[in-house]
Every structure is written in structure tokens, then in C-alpha cells.
């Protein structure tokens, strides 16, 4: 079993596997990476950065679900 690290997502502390990427976090949360905006430690990320950005203990992530109006 891999080591777990704490991160804060939208104000709630959760644990993720060590060396998890933003993309892996979104998959763990059952979120579609195409419809979520991600801010990591107050810095907005581009979608192309989701797979290569590795989470560190105590990172703060804000997730915003984008939806089409109508």
C-alpha cells in the first residue's frame, strides 16, 4: 500500500497517495478534468499541467466545476 499524504481540497482535508498528480486527484474524486478548473496553492493551473503536477503534503487545492448555462 502506498503512503498517504494530507491535502486540502475546497477547505476539506483529505488524503491521497504519495506522488499523486492533480489528474489522479480528479479521478479519485470522480471529476471530469475537462469540466474542472484547478487552483493549487493560489495559482491557477492549465489543463495540460494536471497530469504532470504532483501533489505535496499540505497543498491547498481549489476546484471549480464548470457548467454550461441554458
Q: What is the pLDDT of residues 6-64, one digit of tens each?
A: 999 999 999 999 999 999 999 999 999 999 999 999 999 999 999 999 999 999 999 99
Instruction: Output the pLDDT for position 15.
Output: 97
Rounded Cα gap, residues 15 and 7, in angstroms: 6
Instruction: Output the pLDDT for position 70.
Output: 58
Q: How confident is the model at residue 66 (pLDDT cuts 50, 70, 90)?
A: confident
Taking the model in full, what pTM does it have?
0.90
Q: Shortest CA distance to 53 belongs to which of 29, 5, 20, 30?
A: 20
Instruction: Output the pLDDT for position 63.
Output: 98
Amino acid at each position: 500500500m502506498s503512503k498517504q499524504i494530507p491535502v486540502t481540497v475546497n477547505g476539506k482535508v483529505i488524503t491521497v497517495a504519495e506522488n499523486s498528480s492533480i489528474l489522479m486527484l480528479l479521478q479519485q474524486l470522480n471529476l471530469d478534468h475537462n469540466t474542472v478548473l484547478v487552483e493549487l496553492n493560489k495559482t491557477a493551473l492549465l489543463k495540460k499541467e494536471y497530469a504532470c503536477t504532483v501533489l505535496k503534503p499540505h497543498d491547498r487545492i481549489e476546484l471549480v466545476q464548470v457548467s454550461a448555462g441554458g
